[in-house]
């Protein structure tokens, strides 16, 4: 891509002023229009050092209302950043519906910076590229326009700009040793960056390589592309068309041909097959509980020392015993090294973002444990059944959740997914017990009774969830919870087994 660009392109100063003025007016209008239609925009500014990224950003934001855009500068990841998945800090900062995010360096800078300075292997680079392509497609599917610019200059021009900056003591600081190294090894960087651009030039997030030896020409070209893409996006939304041509086709298991997850397993649970008569007496329970909690306590220290993250998900019927189960797990853990995330209905801020945003923000650091009392699977259960998302959104979610978990596993996380199961009669019994007990009455709500009326719909949705998200990366385990004691012991055994398996690998 880089070799095809004509770097000699320039524009006369007067012509630039004449052409830029109406484009600025258009951009100002489109900012208000995309806000109205809740279309998010991400503008990535990548390019050679001294190619003029800062100048371009300054020019682009001139006509924009500062209340509806943010500029995020992609600095070198901190030690804390490196304790989370590669993309977490970017997920944390994705724009709300109707807002614009301008990235001065992005996840791409992280890739080639780490590749040269951090010693990433070719395999690790490929994994990051796969992660980025998935990330961008998920955002694009959620009505985010992604505009990617690479500002291209020659080695000679870069060297000239470095010399100019270094000649003034007030701008000397802008040129680092790494910048000089980039110029010294320009051809090596050229080849690697060109490969990266080619591998991440997708239908939903295409690269625009901009000749940038003259700043005016570069800025004008970016204005043309931005206004044209926003105009097209608005027209698509108003006409009901897709924002981009997505030629991927799901197979019957909900996977796209290029999805980066291990295969979905054929042996997935089916609720009608679950044996809910399984039970355990109190004596056996107390003996096993003590032994298993001590083992988990020890393993918590091991994973902390080895910086292995653990993510435990609890889904299940109302009154199935999730809270008591979580309590027996958390009792064994050092309170400084775990967090329980109770997931309720999304608030206003969360609704204005991609639905996975609030879960990315709750991930544990490496070496820590995060327990989710309900999770992202609400997308294909309560949100699906209650109509809180469109059919297209919940059908797409199976793929997105598999990709999310594959990304977590790639990061090194142990993932345990529980469905806490009871039969309908047992649930009714527990509902009535809660109503009759003043200390537990707060646990039963009108919503619980409404959900019970839709038992068959939920059962069908759960079976489909098992079928489409039981993967080698993250299998589902059903906890037979008509007997809570049996379910608690099984949960501890499964968690311990998953951690030990990870340690042995």
Q: Per-residue confidence at 246, pLDDT binned at 50, 70, 90?
A: low
379 within 8 A of 229, measured Cβ to Cβ: no
Q: Which pLDDT score is estimated for 253?
A: 36
Q: Write down the residue that tokens 């309170």 correspond to.
A: 335
User: What is the rounded CA–CA span in Å between residue 444 and residue 216?
Assistant: 64
Sorted by sequence, the CB contacts under 8 Å of residue 499 that are 6+ apart come out as 299, 302, 303, 308, 310, 414
Helices and strands, number each (H, E), in the chain:
19, 10
DSSP state letters, 381-419: THHHHTTSS-HHHHHHHHHHHHHHHHHHHHHT-EEEEEE
Token pair belonging to 147: 């505009």
CA distances in angstroms from 26 to 21, 23, 227, listed in the order given? 9, 5, 7
Q: Which pLDDT score is estimated for 227?
A: 97
Q: Does the pLDDT value for residue 72 go beyond 60?
A: yes
CA distances in angstroms from 308 to 295, 364, 403, listed in the order given? 17, 10, 20
Q: Per-residue confidence at 122, pLDDT binned at 50, 70, 90?
A: confident
Q: Which pLDDT score is estimated for 58?
A: 96
Q: Per-residue confidence at 248, pLDDT binned at 50, 70, 90?
A: very low
Mean pLDDT, residues 86-110: 94
User: What is the rounded CA–CA span in Å between residue 380 and residue 165?
Assistant: 55
User: What is the rounded CA–CA span in Å between residue 182 and residue 158?
Assistant: 10
DSSP one-letter code for 150: E
Decide the pairing of beta strands 310-316 and 414-421. parallel
Mean pLDDT, residues 377-389: 96
Residue 62: phi, psi to the nearest 5?
-50, -45
How many CB atoms are closer than 10 A to CB 159? 16
Confirm whether 2-239 and 271-504 share one CATH topology. yes
User: Could you give the 3-state DSSP secondary structure of residue 460?
Assistant: helix
pLDDT digits (tens, 9 = 90+) for 434-455: 988 888 888 888 888 988 999 9
Mean pLDDT, residues 446-475: 94
356, exposed or middle or buried, with CB in 10 Å at 0-12, 13-18, 19+?
Answer: buried
CA distances in angstroms from 503 to 187, 404, 406, 416, listed in the order given? 42, 22, 18, 15
Least confident among 100-104, 257-261, 343-347? 257-261
Question: What's the CATH code, domain 271-504?
Answer: 3.40.50.300
Q: Does the pLDDT value for residue 373 go beyond 60?
A: yes
Q: Which pLDDT score is estimated for 496?
A: 98
Q: Per-residue confidence at 249, pLDDT binned at 50, 70, 90?
A: very low
Mean pLDDT, residues 112-137: 86
Q: Which pLDDT score is estimated for 243?
A: 80
Decide the pairing of beta strands 207-211 and 310-316. unpaired
264 within 8 A of 253, measured Cβ to Cβ: yes
How many CB atoms are closer than 10 A to CB 17? 12
Q: Does the pLDDT value for residue 262 go beyond 70?
A: no
Percentage, residues of the chain above pLDDT 90: 84
323 within 8 A of 371, measured Cβ to Cβ: no
Mean pLDDT, residues 156-164: 96
Mean pLDDT, residues 298-327: 97
Q: Which pLDDT score is estimated for 261?
A: 58
Q: Which pLDDT score is estimated for 256?
A: 40
Structural domain boundaries in the chain: 2-239, 271-504
Token pair belonging to 408: 């977590």
Quote the pTM value.
0.92
Helix H, strand E, coil C: the string for 226-279 is HHHHHHHHHHHHHHCCCCCCCCCCCCCCCCCCCCCCCCECCCCCCHHHCCCCCC
Of residues 40 and 436, more confidently modeled? 40
CATH class of domain segment(s) 2-239: alpha beta
């Amino acid at each position: 891509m880089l070799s095809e660009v004509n770097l000699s392109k320039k524009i006369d100063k007067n012509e630039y002023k004449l052409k830029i003025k109406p484009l600025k007016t258009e951009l100002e209008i489109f900012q208000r229009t995309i806000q109205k239609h809740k279309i998010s925009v991400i503008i990535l500014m990548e390019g050679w050092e001294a190619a003029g990224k800062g100048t371009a950003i300054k020019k682009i934001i001139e006509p924009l209302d500062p209340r509806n855009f943010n500029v995020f500068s992609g600095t070198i990841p901190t030690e804390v950043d490196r304790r989370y998945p590669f993309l977490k800090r970017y997920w944390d900062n994705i724009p709300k519906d109707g807002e614009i995010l301008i990235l001065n360096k992005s996840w791409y800078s992280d890739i080639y910076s780490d590749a040269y300075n951090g010693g990433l292997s070719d395999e690790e680079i490929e994994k990051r590229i796969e992660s980025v392509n998935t990330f961008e497609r998920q955002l694009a599917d959620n009505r985010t326009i992604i505009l990617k610019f690479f500002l291209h200059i020659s080695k000679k021009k870069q060297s000239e700009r470095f010399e100019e900056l270094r000649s003034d003591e007030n701008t000397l600081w802008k040129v680092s040793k790494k910048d000089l190294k980039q110029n010294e090894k320009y051809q090596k960087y050229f080849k690697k960056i060109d490969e990266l651009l080619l591998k991440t030039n997708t239908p939903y997030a295409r690269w625009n390589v901009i000749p940038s030896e003259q700043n005016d020409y570069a800025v004008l070209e970016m204005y043309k592309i931005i206004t044209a893409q926003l105009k097209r996006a608005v027209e698509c939304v108003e006409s009901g068309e897709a924002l981009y041509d997505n030629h991927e086709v799901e197979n019957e298991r909900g996977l796209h041909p290029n999805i980066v997850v291990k295969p979905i397993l054929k042996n997935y649970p089916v609720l009608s097959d679950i044996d809910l008569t399984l039970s355990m007496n109190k004596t056996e329970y107390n003996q096993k509980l003590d032994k298993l909690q001590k083992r988990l306590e020890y393993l918590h220290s091991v994973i902390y020392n080895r910086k292995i993250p653990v993510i435990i998900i609890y889904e299940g019927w109302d009154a199935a015993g999730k809270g008591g189960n979580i309590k027996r797990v958390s009792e064994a853990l050092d309170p400084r090294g775990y967090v329980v995330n109770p997931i309720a209905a999304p608030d206003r801020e969360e609704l204005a973002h991609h639905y996975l945003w609030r879960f990315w923000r709750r991930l544990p650091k490496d070496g820590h444990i995060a327990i989710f009392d309900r999770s992202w699977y609400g997308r294909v259960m309560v949100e699906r059944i209650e109509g809180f998302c469109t059919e297209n959104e919940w059908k797409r979610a199976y793929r997105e959740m598999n990709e999310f978990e594959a990304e977590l596993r790639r990061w090194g996380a142990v993932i345990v997914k529980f469905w806490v199961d009871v039969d309908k009669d047992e649930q009714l019994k527990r509902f009535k017990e809660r109503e009759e007990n003043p200390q537990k009455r707060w646990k039963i709500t009108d919503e619980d009774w409404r959900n019970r009326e839709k038992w068959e719909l939920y059962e069908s949705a759960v079976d489909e969830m098992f079928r489409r998200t039981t993967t080698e990366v993250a299998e589902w385990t059903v906890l037979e919870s008509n007997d809570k004691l049996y379910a608690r012991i099984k949960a501890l055994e499964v968690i311990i087994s998953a951690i030990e398996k990870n340690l042995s690998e």
